[in-house]
C-alpha cells in the first residue's frame, strides 16, 4: 500500500530528529517540506511569529484548532511554562494518528491533549469534559470557513476572558475574509496583522492577532 504525505513526514521526523528534542522535530519537518513535499504546517517563517506571541503571553491554557501532523503543536508546547496545558483538535483520524507520534517523538505528550473530533462539537464541551474554563491563547488553523463560527461559539461558551488572544493563520492565503472583517470591526477585539508568507512559499500570507477585550 502507498504511504500518505503525513506518513512520509513522520518518517522524516524519525529519521532526522532527535527523540525528546522539539527543535529538531520542527527542523526535520521544515526540511522535509522545503526539500521534498509542501505541507500545510504553519511553517518556519510564520512559526517565528507564533513563537513570539506564545513567549510574550506565557499562556497557561492554549487551544489549537487543527492539528494536522502536530508541527505547530510541537512549536507551541515546547515553549509553554511547566504546568501549562495545550488542547489541540483534529477531526481526521489519520492525521491525528501521525500527530500523536510526532508529539511523542518531541517528548511533549504530557503537555498536549490531542482530541479527535470536530471543533463545532468539542468547543461546547471544553469546560465539562476537559476542565478548562477559559483559554489564554487560541491558535486558529483549521478549515478557513470555521474561524468565524467557532470564534462566536467560543464567545458564547464563555471560553474567552479579558486578555485572551486569538491568533489566526492564513488570513490572506487561502484567506478568511468574514473572520477578518469581524475581529477588525468588533469593539470587543483589538486586532493586529502580522505580514508574512504562506508556508514554504513567497506568496503573501499572515497571522491576525486579536486580543479579546471582554
Ligand atoms: N496547525 C497545523 C500546523 O501548523 O502544523 C496545521 C493544521 S492544517 C492547516 C488544518 C487541519 O485542521 C487539518 O488537519 C484538518 O483535518 C483539520 N480540521 C479542519 N476543520 C476542522 C474542524 N472543524 N475540527 C477539527 N479539525 C479540523
Ligand atoms: Mg495554516
Ligand 1: atom nearest CA of 117 is 25
Distance CA 94, CA 91 (A): 9
> How confident is the model over 80-108, as pLDDT tens digits?
999 999 999 999 999 999 999 999 999 99
Q: What atom in ligand 1 is closest to the CA of residue 90?
A: 26
Record the cell numbers describing residue 19, joined without a space. Answer: 527523540
The reply to whether ligand 1 has any atom less than 6 angstroms from the CB of 97 is: no
Nearest CA to ligand 1 atom 21: 142
**ipTM strictly over 0.95?**
yes
Give bridge partners of residue 204 from the DSSP assignment: 197
pLDDT-above-70 percentage for the chain:
100
Active site residue 92: no
Give tens-digit pLDDT for 159-201. 999 999 999 999 999 999 999 999 999 999 999 999 999 999 9
Evaluate if residue 1 carries a pLDDT over 80.
no
**Reported pTM:** 0.97
Given pLDDT bands bounded at 50, 70 and 90, which one contains residue 130?
A: very high
Cα–ligand 2 centroid distance for 63 (angstroms): 15
Distance 154 CA to ligand 2 centre (A): 20
Report helix, strand or coil for 7. Answer: helix
Q: So what's the pLDDT on residue 2?
A: 85
Amino acid at each position: 500500500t502507498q504511504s500518505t504525505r503525513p506518513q512520509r513526514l513522520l518518517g522524516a521526523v524519525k529519521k532526522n530528529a532527535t527523540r525528546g528534542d522539539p527543535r529538531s522535530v520542527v527542523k526535520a519537518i521544515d526540511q522535509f517540506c522545503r526539500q521534498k513535499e509542501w505541507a500545510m504546517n504553519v511553517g518556519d517563517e510564520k512559526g517565528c511569529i507564533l513563537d513570539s506571541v506564545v513567549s510574550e503571553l506565557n499562556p497557561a491554557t492554549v487551544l489549537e484548532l487543527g492539528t494536522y501532523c502536530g508541527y505547530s503543536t510541537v512549536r507551541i508546547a515546547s515553549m509553554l511554562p511547566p504546568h501549562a496545558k495545550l488542547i489541540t483538535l483534529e477531526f481526521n483520524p489519520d492525521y491525528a494518528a501521525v500527530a500523536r507520534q510526532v508529539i511523542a517523538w518531541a517528548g511533549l505528550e504530557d503537555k498536549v491533549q490531542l482530541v479527535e473530533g470536530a471543533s463545532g462539537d468539542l468547543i461546547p464541551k471544553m469546560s465539562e469534559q476537559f476542565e478548562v474554563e477559559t483559554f489564554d491563547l487560541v491558535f486558529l488553523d483549521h478549515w478557513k470557513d470555521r474561524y468565524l463560527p467557532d470564534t462566536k461559539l467560543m464567545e458564547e461558551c464563555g471560553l474567552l476572558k479579558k486578555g485572551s488572544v486569538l491568533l489566526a493563520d492564513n488570513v490572506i492565503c487561502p484567506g478568511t475574509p468574514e473572520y477578518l472583517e469581524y475581529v477588525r470591526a468588533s469593539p470587543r477585539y483589538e486586532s493586529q496583522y502580522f505580514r508574512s508568507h504562506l508556508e514554504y512559499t513567497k506568496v503573501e500570507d499572515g497571522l491576525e492577532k486579536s486580543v479579546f477585550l471582554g
